[in-house]
Structure 1
Amino acid sequence: MFQGSDPAPKILVMSTCCGASSGLGRAFSRSTNRPKLIIGSSDARYFDDYVAAWALLYRRLNCKDIDIEAMQQVLAKICAVVHKSFRYLGWDDERERYVRYPSKRTRFDVVERE
């Protein structure tokens, strides 16, 4: 996938079950042409979960420039409000592999504002 003359997308949003599984990251890590970020869930989710998650994501997504801090903020909201299985796999040039955000130990709290 994405190995022809066309460049890979900067961000690959997977709206399928297990779209951000570590297996997908491993497959792309062996490729020379890979997305910088893979966003999705690590398990099977209901359609409603994807609708809510992607509504939050696309509200903040800037396709021209990847802002890692903004992506982490929106994923924190998705994990707090929708489900903790949503994450991104971000390519790390130094380690030459995808790294996961949020980590398995990360907790998110929901704070209501008036």
Structure 2
Amino acid sequence: MKKLINWFIASQLLIIALMLLIIKEVTLTSYINMSFFVGGTITFIGLLVYVVSNGFFDIFTMSFRKVFSSKRSLVDTESMRAPSELLDFQTKPFFQLGGSILLAMLIALMIYYLA
């Protein structure tokens, strides 16, 4: 839990830095926009890692290796690891961090519309 809070604080500092670098002003609207981009990107990376690590692309990868390799290197292609074996880290931190950033963005959006 402490790690998630540290990552959340670091992501908020990143959002403020990106606001100053790209938008050049710190407003509620710019915070909402930038936190949507950062939170959406982290969540998208988590979804991509989740799909690849569950073996969705393994069949496609093995098929392309067999079709586009010569008969001599067929043994080499069978010994290659599948994409799901290459990604062996957890996706839960990506979803937790991306979700918490998007939740902060939704709270800021509610403040924007209610004020």
| TM-score, normalised with respect to structure 1 | 0.27
Q: Which has the higher contact order (CA 8 A, sep 6+)?
A: 2
Query: Which structure dedicates a bigger proportion of its chain to strand?
Result: 1
Decide which structure has greater helix share.
2
**Could you state the TM-score of these two structures normalised by the residue count of structure 2?**
0.27
Pair member with larger Rg: 2
